[in-house]
Structure 1
């Protein structure tokens, strides 16, 4: 299972998304980081098990999403 964490306010307002190959991509906008992680998760989902996005909300709670970002998963 792969999980891509996307915080609300990362250090220095820079979002980093690590790829399974060991590299990472850096984004200056949270929206861009979420879009990249969703596309990557969709590509990897099934090939390496399940892939999810864990996104921190404004209330400080982390919610788990599938690559389609339609609704948080019930845990």
Structure 2
């Protein structure tokens, strides 16, 4: 057996924690390693909105930073 890759875990985690479609999109790009500014450009959002999405996900998943969130998905 092998651990599930993050791209397979993300939909399950999103459903479990009540992550919205837009938050999910932000997380997908974060898992690709894109910084917040590039995520904002790619999704046609403001940097402030992207950061708000990250904060909402941190609150829902009870993590404190992007690194902690991503490491939890990429184990």
Instruction: State the TM-score bracket (shorter-chain normalisation).
Output: 0.3 to 0.5
TM-score (normalizing by structure 2):
0.33
The two structures have a TM-score, normalised by structure 1, of 0.33
Which of the pair is proportionally richer in helix?
A: 2
- Structure having the higher strand fraction is 1
